[in-house]
């Protein structure tokens, strides 16, 4: 019976950051989650840590100096001085300047880096950071509410020790930032389950985005249509992930659990229940491989908190009663006060059985090209992460003559979110059908 040692990272003040009144990203969801986790008594099943902030040097190991200089210096009070830089750094409605932004970035990325180091040291089997998983951030710019790439930085830490790392993403949006960072290496496989129609943010994640150079076939994309239900999603997930684990044989797994794939999400168009979302976490836990569990999207915050609390229980092996415990935030969970409210049925399911069967067959065919896990020559850990990235680029150039047909798709096309921003928190139950492609 698998009894993993679980580390849980939280900072009470992280819920106090505020992107702006009309912005759908609400860090307060983390406060709701932590209060449910503690009042369910889950702290008795795991070690809880208040992580240190990531240092500027750690963040610069992946991000460009000019971008980090900008992030550190810009504030709501002085932003007019930096207005000329806003287009260069993709500042706008999705990624606004808000009070304490740099502090927020250091906190959530520091927790992911610490979680990775905990797994590397062997002092935890599963490390949970619901603050992290902000998977759209790029080396040179923010994107899709994400400013620094905590997930990418965490994977780079894991690569110092583990020959192969698997990244799995169940957010409704494509994990484009992580895919882009590791597009040319065979040491990281990225596997993203997401809505894709070429328009839905971020506009990437087609099935034929498979990686390039040494990373050819190591990017797996599972593009889904509106309205996918519990049974279809979990069956697809288990089939694909069984094949991925058998083929790639990762030493560690990073699982991004964006909760915007739940039914009734403010920006989402799927029909998943909290139980089905959690079934993906439960399935990956069964492999017994060191695993980092991260947050991500999720914009109906009462359901985000329920979901991540349930999944914390799953990684701990604890059964949670459906009746939510009392917290100072009870009113968020009215009128049912349950862990598993009804979330499905709002959106018509456009994923036919024939489509899902063809999708599965195509992905399994892609995996067959790999012919088992790549052999990794374990060298001395690189003295710096940038050195690793540069060596990977050099390795790719060495084989470009053989694979010059593989071209990396442009990731920098700007796309707006399909959903419009709302006026306040009170609209989260609003009928959003007008913005859905149904």
Active-site residues, by number, are 136
Q: Distance between CA atoms of 76 and 97, rounded to whole angstroms? A: 6
Question: 142: Cβ–Cβ under 8 A, 6 or more apart, which residues?
Answer: 89, 90, 91, 95, 136, 148
Which DSSP string corresponds to 289-343? --EEEE-----SHHHHHHHHHHHHHHHHT----SBPPP-TTGGGGTTT-BSS---
Residue ranges of E strands in 228-282: 252-256
- CB distance 4 to 285 below 8 Å: yes
Distance (Å) of CA 101 to CA 75, 268, 398: 8, 25, 40
170/268 Cα distance (integer angstroms): 12
Distance between CA atoms of 369 and 359, rounded to whole angstroms? Answer: 16
Which residues 6+ apart lie within 8 Å of 224 measured at CB? 193, 194, 195, 196, 233, 270, 351
Phi, psi torsion values for 180, nearest 5 degrees: -60, -40
What is the Cβ-side half-sphere exposure of residue 197, based on CA atoms within 13 angstroms? 13
E strands, 153-216, are 165-169, 188-195
Q: Which of 209, 222, 189 is nearest to 370 (CA)?
A: 189
Give me the helices (H) in 86-164, please. 101-121, 150-158
* CA-closest candidate to residue 169, choices 286, 294, 255, 235: 255
Q: Report phi then psi at 16, rounded to 5.
A: -90, -10
Which helix (H) or strand (E) segment holds residue 9: the answer is strand 6-9
Report the alpha-carbon distance of residue 272 to residue 292 in Å, rounded. Answer: 22
Q: What is the 3-state secondary structure (H, E, C) of 16-77?
A: HCCCCCCCCCCCHHHHHHHHHHHHCCHHHHCEEECCCCCCHHHHHCCCCHHHHHHHHHCCCC
């Amino acid at each position: 019976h698998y009894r993993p040692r679980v580390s849980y990272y939280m900072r009470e003040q992280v819920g106090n950051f505020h992107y702006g009144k009309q912005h759908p990203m609400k860090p307060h969801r983390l406060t709701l989650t932590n209060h449910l986790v503690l009042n369910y008594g889950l702290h008795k099943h795991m070690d809880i840590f208040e992580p240190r902030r990531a240092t500027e040097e750690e963040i610069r190991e992946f991000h460009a100096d000019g971008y980090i200089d900008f992030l550190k210096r810009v504030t709501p009070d002085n932003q007019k001085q930096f207005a000329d830089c806003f287009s260069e750094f993709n500042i706008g409605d999705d990624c606004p300047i808000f009070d304490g932004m740099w502090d927020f970035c250091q906190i959530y990325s520091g927790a992911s880096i610490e979680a990775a180091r905990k797994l590397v040291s062997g002092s935890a089997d599963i490390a949970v950071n619901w603050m992290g998983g902000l998977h759209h951030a790029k080396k040179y710019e923010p994107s899709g509410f994400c400013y620094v790439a905590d997930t990418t930085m965490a994977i780079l830490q894991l690569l110092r020790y583990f020959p192969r790392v698997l990244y799995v993403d169940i957010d409704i949006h494509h994990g484009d930032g992580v895919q882009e960072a590791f597009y040319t290496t065979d040491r990281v496989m990225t596997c993203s389950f997401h809505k894709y129609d070429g328009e839905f943010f971020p506009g990437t994640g087609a099935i034929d985005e498979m990686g390039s150079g040494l990373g050819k076939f190591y990017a797996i994309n599972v593009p889904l249509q509106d309205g996918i239900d519990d049974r279809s999603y979990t069956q697809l997930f288990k089939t694909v992930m069984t094949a991925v684990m058998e083929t790639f044989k990762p030493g560690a797994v990073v699982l991004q659990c964006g909760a915007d794939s739940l039914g009734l999400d403010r920006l989402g168009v799927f029909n998943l229940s909290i139980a089905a979302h959690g079934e993906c976490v439960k399935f990956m836990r069964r492999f017994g491989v060191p695993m980092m569990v991260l947050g991500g999207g999720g914009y109906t915050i009462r359901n985000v908190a329920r979901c991540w609390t349930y999944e914390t229980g799953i990684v701990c092996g604890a059964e949670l009663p459906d009746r939510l415990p009392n917290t100072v935030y009870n009113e968020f969970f009215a009128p049912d006060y349950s862990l598993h409210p009804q979330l499905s049925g709002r959106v018509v399911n456009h994923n036919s059985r024939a489509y899902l069967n063809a999708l599965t067959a195509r992905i399994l065919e892609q995996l067959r090209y790999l012919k088992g896990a790549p052999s990794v020559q374990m060298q001395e850990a690189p003295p710096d992460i940038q050195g690793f990235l540069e060596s990977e680029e050099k390795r790719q150039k060495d084989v470009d003559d053989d694979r010059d047909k593989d071209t990396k798709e442009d990731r920098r096309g700007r796309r707006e979110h399909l959903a419009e921003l709302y006026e306040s928190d009170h609209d989260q139950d609003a009928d959003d059908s007008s913005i859905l492609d149904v």
